[in-house]
Amino acid sequence: MNFVGLFQSLDASQSTHAKRDALIAFLEQGDAVETALAVSLLTGRKQQRTLKPAQLKQVAGVLYQETPWLFDECYQAVGDLSETLAILCADGLQEANTQDPVLSAWSDLQQQLLQIHPDALPTALYTTLQQLSRDEAFLFLKTASGGFRVGVSRGLVHDALAKVTGMSRDVIDERLMDGLTVSQDWLSDLQRPLSDAEQHARPCPFLLAHPLPDNFESTLSPSDYVVEYKWDGIRAQLIKTDQIIRLWSRGDHDITTQFPEIIEAASSWPGQWTLDGEILIVRDEGLGSFHDLQTRLNRKRVTKPLLASHPARFRAYDLLKLNGVDLREQPLIKRKAHLDTLSVEQSPWHIHHSWLAISQMRAQSRSLGAEGLMLKAQDAAYQGGRKSGVWWKWKLDPMTADLVLIYAQAGHGRRASLHTDYTLAAWSENTLVPVAKAYSGLTDDELKTIDRWIKAHTTDKFGPVRQVEAELVFEIGFEGIARSSRHKSGIALRFPRILRWRTDLTPTDADSLSYFNELLEVAR
């Protein structure tokens, strides 16, 4: 089986079990290089983009010289650029080759296309696609444009790899954190015994928290837990060995170069260790918002003014390795004791004997710039992944607002051709000003009903965006609010999502900008 065959099996199923079986069959039977490249693609690593969307769109000029708008119409109906081109250009009669390896050859072909003069690229791309079957053309473009998603999570791929290699899922997670080296022996390489250097140079799989269960008061005992504030920062591991200092965020991103001040501070801290904690922007008046933190991310250059205006700190709450010893099997309370011996900034923690005391601590969290509490079992080891019952998060209730739908746009992928991306607005005097875009939170039935309503109440169209009559009101929830000069409303909401369709409200009942300004005051 090749990558095309794997895609067809994955695409023809919605059951996780069937998808895992398809992955296992592919890993066991597929060509070694093909499987290595496929795993890289499916786990979202090494998504090197060789062809930009703008370059793909130029094929429209080859297809429809006189009526290029026809391509845009097709793209809107399909909702996916690669699929649109595959339908229009590929040989629809040809059956896909689902056996012989394709990925290595595609990668070469993509590199060759890059060498071609930009003026000749559209025709060359078109000619390439014409020789492929539809599924092949679709996947060729998806792998080239770096936006490949096929409804399998990285975790599912790792599960399948664990099954095929006989290794534990944790080891697979850890070994693939840096990506994998494509070779004939990559699978056997994945099964090699662990070396010491390997143990210590890499971040460990993060232990993730679950929301506190509804019935926690009757099922959990408060004094079993270490209680910390839940900081609204970037989760990260800070690693110092005898040679290097590295900062890793979740999702296996090496963000060392983005936070030079943290690396500099860490260089003066003694010992060799792996710390788990949170990156935060800390100012005189307190913690910066997540919005502040975002301005530090994905910068080509971290400038001095930015370092001065948005200084970052690393606040540790767990110690995973110390001077070559893996502490992860030890109970949390012991790891905390070791952490106390280090001269690093720590997140304060408490042990409370009543839920009342814990809830009082929670009530204070917003004023400290935290978004709730973390409850961590005192006696629990640090096991990577989302192990239930070890770490609980007890977040503050989200802030909410009632907003009016003003624009809608069709979604992508599974939601293509259904209007599911909403722009929601609040009142400013007598006009509605957009304050949030929300994509999730409604049931499929609601989405269908609203989609029908949108189509029947469109007042204007701007490309794929429909302006609709100001009539529908939605209650949204969000985790934070910050001032923003980039938004017309002057505010930016964090994680806005739809909580409910408020069919009981009319647009005049919706909130106004002054309400958000009050929230901003409270958040300060």
Partner 1 sequence: MISKNTPSRDPLIQRTDKGLYCPQADVYIDPWRAVPRALITHAHADHARPGSSQYHCASDSTGVIGSRLNTEHIVPHPYGESFQLNDIEITFFPAGHILGSAQIRLHDGEQTWVITGDYKRTPDPSCKAFEPVECDVLITEATFALPIYRWPSMDEIMPRIFRWWDANIRAKRTPVLLCYSLGKAQRVMTEIAARSNRGVRVHGAVATLNTHYEAAGVPLCPWERAADAPKGVSQELVIAPPQVAGSAFLKRFGPTELAMASGWMQVRGVRRRAAINQGFVISDHADWNELLETIYQSNAHTVYATHGETRVLTRFLNETTAIKATRLETAFGINQELDQ
Query: Rule CB under 8 A: which residues touch partner 1?
Result: 11-14, 63-64, 66-67, 69-70, 73-74, 77-80, 83-84, 87-88, 92-93, 412-418
Shortest spacing between CB 472 and partner 1, in angstroms: 21
CA–CA gap between residue 198 and residue 207 (Å, rounded)? 19
Report the residue number, 78 or 247, with the smaller CB distance to partner 1: 78
d(CA 484, CA 477): 19
Instruction: Determine the Cα–Cα distance for residues 211 and 283; give it in Å rounded to an integer.
Output: 29
Cα–Cα distance, 331 to 340 (Å, whole number): 15
CB nearer to partner 1: pick between 331 and 464? 464
Closest CA to 42 of 207, 155, 190, 120: 155
Sequence-distant (≥ 6) Cβ neighbours of residue 98 within 8 angstroms = 1, 2, 4, 5, 8
Burial classification of residue 474, based on how many CB atoms lie within 10 Å of its CB (0-12 exposed, 13-18 middle, 19 or more buried):
buried
What is the DSSP pairing of strand 370-377 with strand 225-231?
antiparallel
How many CB atoms sit inside 10 A of residue 518's CB?
10
In the bound state with partner 1, the residue whose beta carbon lies nearer, of 82 and 423, is: 82
Least Cβ distance, residue 91 to partner 1 (angstroms): 11
Q: Which is nearer to partner 1, 89 or 424 (CB)?
A: 89
Angle at 85 between CA 84 and CA 86, to 5 degrees: 90
Query: HSE on the CB side for 303, CA within 13 Å?
Result: 4
Q: What minimum distance in Å lies between the beta carbon of 446 and partner 1?
A: 14
474, 402 contact by CB (below 8 A): yes
Q: Are 249 and 241 in contact (CB under 8 A)?
A: no
Q: How far is the CB of 153 from partner 1 (least distance, A)?
A: 16
Question: Min. distance of Cβ 83 from partner 1 in angstroms?
Answer: 6
* 512 DSSP β-pair partners: 427
Minimum distance of partner 1 from residue 101's CB (angstroms): 23
Return the number of the residue (18 or 244) whose C-beta is nearest partner 1.
18
CB closer to partner 1 out of 3 and 229: 3
Question: Least distance from C-beta 42 to partner 1, angstroms?
Answer: 17
Pick the closer one to partner 1 by CB: 169 or 415: 415
The whole-angstrom separation of Cα 329 and Cα 350 is: 22
What residue has token string 């794929």?
464
Q: How far is the CB of 415 from partner 1 (least distance, A)?
A: 6
How far, in Å, CA of 148 to CA of 157, rounded?
14
As given in the structure block, the two tokens for residue 396 are 């503050």
Q: Give least dist CB 452 to partner 1, A.
A: 10
Task: Say how far residue 106 (Cα) sits from the centre of its chain.
Answer: 27
Cβ(206)–Cβ(276) under 8 Å?
yes
> Using CA atoms, how far apart are residues 113 and 120, in angstroms rounded to an integer?
9
Closest CB 80 distance from partner 1, rounded Å:
7
| DSSP code, position 205 | P
Return the number of the residue (136 or 232) whose C-beta is nearest partner 1.
136
Cβ distance to partner 1 smaller for residue 415 or 494: 415
CB of 105 to partner 1, least distance (A): 24
Give me the least distance between CB of 8 and partner 1, in Å please.
10
| Other CB atoms within 10 Å distance of the CB of residue 271 | 12
Beta carbon nearer to partner 1, 119 or 445: 445
Alpha helix positions (H), 220-369: 260-267, 290-294, 304-309, 332-340, 355-365
C-beta of 12 vs 337, nearer to partner 1: 12
Cβ neighbours of residue 165 closer than 8 Å, sequence gap 6 or more: 172, 187, 190, 191
For partner 1, which is the closer residue by CB, 72 or 345?
72
Residue labelled with tokens 């996947």: 139
Q: Are 229 and 350 in contact (CB under 8 A)?
A: no
